[in-house]
Chains A and B, each alone.
Chain A
Amino acid sequence: DTAVSQTPKYLVTQMGNDKSIKCEQNLGHDTMYWYKQDSKKFLKIMFSYNNKELIINETVPNRFSPKSPDKAHLNLHINSLELGDSAVYFCASGTGGTDTQYFGPGTRLTVL
């Protein structure tokens, strides 16, 4: 049984388009995260939600908007995609605070 799942696994799109990535966790965790991993494998936190409330919002362009319909789901919507948005996006969940996080398989976004 998949603990943290993301769809789609691959996303290829044109500059200027709007796209969404979905994330679901079945671990019963209260906290979910979005990370961006660039081509040099550097992983950076973008957002964190705890029980559907935004608790971490790093310096991310307004074109990125997370949405949490319930505590098991955290989706990422990206407007007006740019070349620099090409990366692998990881969703993660955890019990919050400073504890272990559980990562999804990633979504590789390629903007042409």
Chain B
Amino acid sequence: SQQGEEDPQALSIQEGENATMNCSYKTSINNLQWYRQNSGRGLVHLILIRSNEREKHSGRLRVTLDTSKKSSSLLITASRAADTASYFCATATNDYKLSFGAGTTVTVRA
């Protein structure tokens, strides 16, 4: 079974609003990564947070990691139409595998 599970499965917001999605996982990790997938395209890496980090920022993205709760969140601030995509968390474990969830589909309405 997959390691990471995103919540919610789908999210619809107005342009300019913030979007928050969560990821829960089951076993110890080396790092956790977030990827974006636009419709019909490949995955694009957004941000990587290591197991000894608690928060990381990249532009309008903010990622948190709570290893005690085995969970992470991705916040997209001031969303734009171009942020419409599916967002995946992937957990990296010491067997050199990335395990993905089924993603959160985000729709940003103009």
Contacts and interface: CB of A to CB of B under 8 A. Distances in A.
A56 interface: yes
Size category, B interface:
20 to 34
Nearest to A42: B102
Contact of B42 (A90, A97, A99): A90
B102 A98 contact: no
Contact of B96 (A40, A42, A56): A56
Interface string A4-45: 100000000000000000000000000000010000111111
A101 B91 CA distance: 12
Contact of A48 (B41, B94, B96): B96
Given A100-B48, A106-B41, A42 B98 contact: no
Interface in B14-54: 30-31, 33, 35, 37, 40-45, 48
Contacts, number: 56
B103 A41 contact: yes
Nearest to A102: B45
Interface residues of A, number: 24
Contacts of B2: 42, 44
Contacts of A98: 30-31, 92-94, 96, 98
B9 to A, nearest CB: 10
Chain A CB within 10 Å — which of B86, B93, B102 has the most? B102
Contact of B102 (A41, A45, A56, A102): A41
Nearest to A31: B96
Contacts of A48: 96-97
Nearest to B100: A43
Interface string A85-106: 0000010100011111111111
A55 interface: yes
Given A90-B43, A98-B92, 4 more contacts: A41-B105, A42-B102, A92-B43, A98-B30
Interface of A: 4, 35, 40-45, 48, 55-56, 90, 92, 96-106
